[in-house]
């Protein structure tokens, strides 16, 4: 089956040289099925000796047991990315958040306007924190942390909130500057479902995409 044509990234040598790894396999399986692939896989596949650590770190930040559930961590990731105008990241993680939280409409409302969204006050406080940390880092101080405590978040929860926001500020810059493009709504939804089920370890994601491809 002919692979779907996708707009190239800004790093053609990186994109053209995936090294043996689960991410290279993810790209191959998607292309063999005639489907779009997430171009972030090209960034991971170029130097898997380095990026495998990033994948494991991301799995821990986003899926380890924590006072902030995985769905809310995905929503924070999507909101941080939306704030940074990183379309690939916000669309990708909005899809995952919608799956885990059971409402894509609620996620859309949050991204468009946190204050009028149906989130409760403690969760809105986390997203305000994420926005300030992203846009006004030098203005952050202990008062911002204490404000989250007022809404019932303990230090472990705040620790994970900071991790998620910091991680996705990194991803947004890596993705945007490397020229990773968003994919179709259908492909974002498809990968969002897979990521919600399998997490961030590439071997688990590869098993899911192979199962889906074989059933297509």
Look at residue 206 and tell me whether its pLDDT is greater than 90.
no
Contact between residue 200 and residue 59 where contact means Cβ atoms under 8 Å apart? yes
**Mean pLDDT score, 186-210:** 81
pLDDT at site 43: 98
**Rounded CA separation 98/104 (Å):** 4
pLDDT in tens, 62-117: 999 999 999 999 999 999 999 999 999 999 999 999 999 999 999 999 999 999 99
Residue 14 lies in a domain: no
Going by C-alpha positions, the residue among 136, 152, 75, 63 that lies closest to residue 109 is 75
Domain assignment of residue 139, yes or no: yes
Question: Given this model, what pLDDT does residue 215 score?
Answer: 43
Assigned domain for 171 exists: yes
Instruction: Please check whether residue 137 lies inside any domain of the structure.
Output: yes
Query: How many folded domains does the chain comprise?
Result: 1
pLDDT at residue 216 greater than cutoff 50: no
Average pLDDT over residues 38-67: 96
The phi and psi torsions of 83 (rounded to 5 degrees) equal -60, -35
* Other CB atoms within 10 Å distance of the CB of residue 200: 17
Give yes or no for residue 207 having a pLDDT over 70: no
Residue 123 counted as domain residue: yes
CA dihedral of residues 95, 100, 103, 106 (deg, nearest 10): -80
Range of the domain at 77: 66-178
Residue 190: inside a domain, yes or no? no
Least confident of 5-19, 110-124, 158-172, 194-208: 194-208
> What pLDDT does 175 receive?
98
Q: How confident is the model at residue 5 (pLDDT cuts 50, 70, 90)?
A: confident
* 38, 191 Cβ separation under 8 angstroms: yes
Q: State residue 214's pLDDT score.
A: 47
Distance CA 34, CA 122 (A): 43
What contacts 32, CB < 8 A, 6 or more positions away? Answer: 1, 3, 213
Query: Which are the contacts of 182, defined by CB distance < 8 A and separation ≥ 6?
Result: 87, 88, 91, 92, 188
pLDDT at 130: 98
On whether residue 202 sits in a domain, the answer given is: no
Please report how the helices 121-135 and 70-83 are oriented relative to each other, as an axis angle in degrees rounded to 10.
40
What does the pLDDT average to over 195-203? 88
Residue 211 is predicted with a pLDDT of: 56
Q: Can you tell me the distance from the alpha carbon of 21 to that of 69, in angstroms, rounded to the nearest whole number?
A: 30
8 Å CB contact between 212 and 205: no
Please report, for the domain that includes residue 171, its CATH number. 1.20.1290.10
Residue 127 lies in a domain: yes
What is the rounded distance in angstroms from the CA atom of residue 39 to the CA atom of residue 29? Answer: 13
For residue range 138-195, what is the model confidence (pLDDT) as tens digits?
A: 999 999 999 999 999 999 999 999 999 999 999 999 999 999 999 999 999 988 999 9
**Does residue 213 have a pLDDT over 80?**
no
Would you state the structure tokens that stand for residue 85, as one six-digit string? 């105008």
């Amino acid at each position: 089956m002919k692979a779907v044509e996708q707009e190239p990234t800004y790093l053609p040598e990186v994109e053209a040289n995936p090294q043996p790894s689960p991410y290279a396999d993810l790209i191959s399986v998607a292309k063999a099925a005639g489907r779009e692939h997430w171009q972030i896989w090209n960034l991971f596949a170029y130097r898997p000796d380095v990026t495998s650590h990033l994948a494991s770190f991301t799995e821990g930040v986003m899926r380890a047991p924590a006072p902030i559930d995985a769905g809310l961590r995905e929503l924070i990731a999507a909101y941080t990315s939306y704030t940074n105008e990183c379309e690939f990241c916000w669309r990708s993680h909005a899809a995952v958040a919608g799956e885990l939280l059971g409402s894509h409409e609620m996620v859309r409302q949050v991204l468009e306007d946190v204050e009028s969204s149906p989130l409760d006050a403690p969760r809105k406080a986390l997203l305000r924190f994420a926005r300030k940390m992203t846009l006004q880092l030098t203005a952050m101080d202990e008062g911002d942390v204490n404000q989250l405590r007022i809404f019932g978040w303990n230090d472990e929860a705040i620790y994970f909130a900071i991790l998620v926001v910091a991680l996705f500020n990194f991803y947004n810059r890596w993705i945007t500057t490397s020229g990773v493009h968003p994919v179709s709504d259908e492909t974002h939804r498809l990968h969002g479902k897979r990521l919600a089920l399998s997490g961030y370890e590439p071997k688990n994601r590869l098993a899911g995409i192979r199962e889906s491809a074989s059933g297509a």
